[in-house]
Structure 1
């Protein structure tokens, strides 16, 4: 099943794509995809005939983030073996965890905001995990039962803030609109364990990242189980699981985003997204 939200800011309509990829309005069943409603989605939709629900026209419609703002956004660093090789770093023995402000969460095609204080704005195509029900101290075998689905994320980063300003990585990861997410959340029954999904990212039409989730060091189930050892994972929490090679910081010489650049990215089966870098002053945030 694919969940998405369509419509203007503040009036988004929760939808499910049917077998023909037609968007069906499910607001009569669930008012929106929120941390509070996500645990009930499966039961509420289990016996619904989607063909009986209203069609929402997709052509020209704004694609919103596929759920409302999560309570938490967690990230796993250096989680692709080929990216670790690109960075010249050792394979981590345990997942490297850091936080990204939940306020970074935005629609998949929202603009990338460029602050005049930025100098090294970088891109990262990533597989996102959306938690479906509360998890604490769960096993790897049980992890998929706690996952609502998978999505596409661009884990944008200001490398100078992240690596040259001291302290936590969060400061380079948490600017507004630094987490475009979507277009869909795709449930595990369609994706499986997401262990072999091709992924890509282009800047201004040129291919920068080509990867596959089969080079992830820690897979989705391992990550969810591992994080649940240290914290409660709540419904709607988003976990960004790392990026394959081809980030700007890893190029020789390094390459970073500037105003006017376009970034397009996607993961097979999970859809694609596109953003344009715009000046912060006078820009739209959604």
Structure 2
């Protein structure tokens, strides 16, 4: 099922999406709430609502203002250098363990919201990524069991301020500027996508300019191995999100470098999930 969390008629709700129309699941059941958290922890709830969707009133997608799928995600853990060609274009050796970093809540915003180029830099870059939404928590999860812990998948643009990313060996500063990490708008449940969301075309673009184009099958650490690796050191909880790294074609590795500019709209699209589109603005 394709799900959308967004504001309609003055309140945030959860919608089931079919083409250009959506059903407000929060109106069908008060147990759903205003984001995906209740559905993550109660899979039977979503199943019980499925039969009621066809006969319910519909809302036009364009009338819904997207919000974050989980209002306050517990952890957002990101993989770096998960595509071999991206590691190579950045001059990195092939990693034997994934580069991992975390994003804070203020760095995230929904699809449609402005991506903010900060006052302190003009080197705002784009990164098209698959994002995993954890449904069932756990620790020391095996690769064989890992996909049972996935609720669904969404689109992520890991906007990166490159000069700050490289001020230290740790990437935290460049990955945590406010309003640089775009999420959504849709979350597609795992049962509606190929196993591990592998084999999906992933692309970023500005207008007709294609910046990145690759396939999720090219990830060195697929979703099950990423979950197993992370759960070795951290307990995963429902609502945690994992960004799976970006393919080659990022702006800093181009000649000349190609950074995002105010007035542009950066789009990230993943086959079967949707398009995350955000206008770029300067920080006020």
Question: TM-score w.r.t. structure 2 length?
Answer: 0.92
Relative to 1, partners in 2 of residues 1:69 and 1:54: Cα closer, same or farther, differing over 3 Å? farther
Aligned length: 278
Aligned to 2:46: 45
Aligned to 1:171: 173
Relative to 1, partners in 2 of residues 1:10 and 1:117: Cα closer, same or farther, differing over 3 Å? farther
The runs of at least 4 consecutive aligned structure 1 residues that moved more than 3 Å come to: 34-37
8 Å contact 1:104–1:177 — kept in the other structure? yes
Aligned to 1:54: 57
Greater displacement, 43-52 / 108-117:
43-52
Aligned to 1:26: 25
Aligned to 1:234: 237
Aligned to 2:15: 15
Greater strand share, structure number: 2
8 Å contact 2:14–2:36 — kept in the other structure? no
Aligned to 1:117: 120
SS of equivalent to 2:71: coil
Superposed CA RMSD? 1.8
Aligned to 1:186: 188
- Cα distance in 1 for partners of 2:181, 2:150 equals 19
Indicate whether 1:134 and 2:137 are aligned: yes
Indicate whether 1:80 and 2:79 are aligned: no
Greater displacement, 44-53 / 185-194:
44-53
Following superposition of structure 1 onto structure 2, how do residues 231-270 of structure 1 map, counting pairs within 5 Å?
231-270=234-273
Q: Describe the superposition over 1:208-249 as per-residue Cα deviations: whole angstroms up to 9, x where unpaired.
A: 111111110000011011101100111111111100111001
Relative to 1, partners in 2 of residues 1:54 and 1:152: Cα closer, same or farther, differing over 3 Å? same
Structure 2, gaps ≥5 residues long:
none
Aligned to 1:107: 110
- Cα distance in 1 for partners of 2:116, 2:200 equals 29
8 Å contact 1:26–1:53 — kept in the other structure? no
1:184 Cα deviation from its structure 2 partner: 0.8
Question: TM-score w.r.t. structure 1 length?
Answer: 0.91
1:33 Cα deviation from its structure 2 partner: 2.4
1:186 Cα deviation from its structure 2 partner: 0.8
